[in-house]
Amino acid sequence: MLAEPPRVTRSATALEPARRLGIEGELVFPVDPTGGDLVMPNGYREGTHNGIDIGNGCSPGRGRSLLACADAVVNSMEQSTRPGKYITLRDRSDTYYRYHHLAEFIEGMEVGAAVSAGQVIGLMGSTGNTNWAHVHFEVWRHSLSPNIGFPIDPLPLLQRPAGLTIGSPQCDN
């Protein structure tokens, strides 16, 4: 049994769930790092932005591969106004992962399918309430329902690729 993490009440404590779960820095980065530099201009802000946004550094990112961050099962694949096309995964530690704004679902992905960490699960896009091709990535404990589960900051959980810029990219026009 995994120890129960505390509810995150302040961003300063956002690292604690990762440490208690023993998955700090253990998850595969949700975007394929071999496709070039990556940028994360928007981080986790509790209550206002429950995830992190990751896109290409300075070039269009549509169609870039999104990767399963852990060995997991496809929990849902849906489309709605704000997230656009999105896929959620659930792993054996009762942790859920959301990927928003997909350009495409991948052949062979379906609810209940088992996926391995690092496997391509979709393609980056800009469906939903965005014009910028990126993935909005969230991590939730216990449930994706805010009445039951709660989000945690994904960044401390991830293996960060070398080409990742946190903040706005410096691009030549």
User: Which residues form the interface with Zn ion (CB under 5 A)?
Assistant: 53, 136
CA distances from 49 to 45, 46, 52, 138, 152 (A): 5, 6, 8, 9, 11
Q: How far is the CB of 86 from Zn ion (least distance, A)?
A: 11
Q: How far is the CB of 4 from Zn ion (least distance, A)?
A: 27
Tokens of 13: 């404590």
Tokens of 108: 């062979």
Residue with tokens 């852990």: 70
Q: Which residue is nearest to Zn ion (CB)?
A: 136
How far is the C-alpha of 97 from the C-alpha of 27, rounded, in Å?
11
How far is the C-alpha of 156 from the C-alpha of 14, rounded, in Å?
8
Q: How far is the CB of 97 from Zn ion (least distance, A)?
A: 14
Q: How many CB atoms lie within 10 A of CB 31?
A: 25
* 85 vs 136, beta carbon nearer Zn ion: 136
Q: How far is the CB of 110 from Zn ion (least distance, A)?
A: 25
* 81 vs 173, beta carbon nearer Zn ion: 81
* 98 vs 136, beta carbon nearer Zn ion: 136
Q: How far is the CB of 53 from Zn ion (least distance, A)?
A: 4
- Considering only CA atoms, which of 12, 44, 104, 16 is closest in space to residue 4? 16
* 20 vs 62, beta carbon nearer Zn ion: 62
CA distances from 30 to 41, 56, 122, 140 (A): 15, 13, 10, 15
* 2 vs 152, beta carbon nearer Zn ion: 152
